[in-house]
Amino acid sequence: MIGPLLAVGLALVATAVIWTGSERLESAASRLSRHYGLPVAVHGAVVVAIGSSFPELSSVVISTLVHGEFSLGVGAIVGSAIFNLLVIPAASALVSEELEATRDIVHKDAQFYIISVLVLFITFALGATYVPGGTNEAAILTRPLAILPLATYAVYVFLQYQDTREHAVAQAPDVAVRREWGRLAVSLALIAVGVEGIVSAALAFGAYFGTPSFLWGLTVIAAATSLPDTFVSVRAARDDEDVTSLTNVLGSNIFNLLVAIPVGVLLVGTATIDFLVAVPMMAFLAFVTLVFIVVTRTHLELTNSEAYVLLGLYGLFLVWMTLETIGVVDTVRGI
C-alpha cells in the first residue's frame, strides 16, 4: 500500500500534469472555436466546458474500470460541482475585481443547471425505489436510467446549437486545424494520466486513514480535477471575458452531472451508490446553486464581498466533511 507521504507526492505530481494538460487544452480549444466561428457563450458553455471537464469524466471512467470504485468517481463529480460554483467564480471575481454576468447566463445557463441537478437526483431516486434491489440505502443505477440525464444534456446542446444558428460568423483566423486537433488530443492524454495519479493517491489516503473513498472524491479528486475549469475561468476573467468565465463553470457542471456519471454507468452496466450519502450532498449542491444564482443576479455582477461569501461557504463545506469523517456530527449517514 502507498504510504501517506508518497501519496501526497503522487497527488502533487498528478496535479501538475493535469494543470499542464489543461493549459494546452484551453489554448487549442480557443483557437478551434475561433476557427469555426462559435459564439462566445457557446465556446464557454460547450467547447471549453467539455474540454475542461475531461478530468472529471476521466475520474469516473478510471475509478470505475481500473479501480472498481464507482462511488469515488461520483464523489469527485459532486465535489467538483460544489468547488466550481463556490471557488472558481470567487477566484475569478477577485482577479477581475468584479465579475459581470448577463441575463442570458442567469436565465438560461443557470436555470438549466438547476434542471440538471434535479434530473440527476431523480435518477438516483429512481435507482433507489424502482430498480429491483434498490433501497433507501443503496441506489442501483442501470443503463436505461442513464439515458435520462444523457437525453437532458442533448436538449442543452440543442439549445446551444440554436444560438450558433443566430450568430453572425466573423472571418475565421488562419489556424493549422490538424495541428490544433493534435494538441487537443495530447492534452487530453496528459489529463488522463494525471487523473489516474490523483485517483491512486485518493485511494491510498482512504486506505491509510480508514475513511470512505467517496469522501476523498468529494475533496481531493474534486479540487484537483477542477483545475482546468479554474484555469480557464480565472484567465478569462483576467482578460475581461466574464461571459466565458461564468458559462464555463455552468457548462462544466452540466456536463459533469448529465454526462460523466451516466458514462460510468454505461461502461459497467450496473452501478450502486450510497443513497444516504447522495441525498445530503445533492441537497447541499442545490443550496449552493441557489446562492450562486442570487449573488450573480444581484446587479448582474459578482463583487469581492460576495466572492468571500462563496469562499466561506466552501470552507464550511470542508469543515463539515471533516467533522463527518471523525464522527463529531452524523448528518451524512453513509459516511
C-alpha cell at 59: 475520474
Contacts of 323 (CB under 8 A, 6+ apart): 329
Residue 72 pLDDT > 70: yes
Contact, 257 vs 117, CB < 8 A?
yes
Please write the tens of the pLDDT for every residue from 15-70.
888 878 877 877 777 777 666 666 555 555 556 666 667 788 888 888 887 777 78
pLDDT digits (tens, 9 = 90+) for 78-100: 888 899 899 988 888 888 866 77
Q: Is the pLDDT of residue 126 over 90?
A: yes
- Alpha-carbon gap, residue 146 to 122, rounded angstroms: 11
Query: In b/e form, how buried is each residue of 39-61, taking b as 16+ CB within 10 angstroms?
Result: bebbbbbbbbbbbbbbbbbbbbb
Lowest mean pLDDT among 71-80, 119-128, 282-291: 71-80
Amino acid at 128: A
Closest CA to 254 of 33, 19, 72, 44: 44
pLDDT at 143: 92
Per-residue pLDDT reduced to its tens digit, 257-273:
998 889 888 988 888 88
Angle CA(216)–CA(222)–CA(227) in degrees, nearest 5?
140
Q: 145, 119 in Cβ contact below 8 A?
A: no
Q: What are the boundaries of each domain within the chain? A: 4-166+175-326
* Spatial distance between the Cα atoms of 81 and 258, rounded to a whole number of angstroms: 12
Q: Which three cell numbers stand for residue 274?
A: 450510497
Dihedral sign, CA of 87, 230, 120, 302?
A: positive
Q: Cell numbers of 215, please?
A: 469522501
Rounded to the nearest angstrom, the gap between the alpha carbon of residue 35 and the centroid of all alpha carbons in its chain is: 26
CATH code 1.20.1420.30 for 4-166+175-326: yes
At residue 118, the pLDDT reads 93
Whether this prediction's pTM lies above 0.85 is answered by no
The torsion angles phi and psi of 331, rounded to 5 degrees, stand at: -90, -25
Task: Output the CA–CA distances (angstroms, integers) from residue 168 to 36, 40, 174, in the order listed.
Answer: 12, 12, 18
Q: Which three cell numbers stand for residue 39?
A: 459564439
Please write the tens of the pLDDT for every residue from 189-235: 888 888 888 888 888 887 777 777 677 778 888 888 787 678 777 87
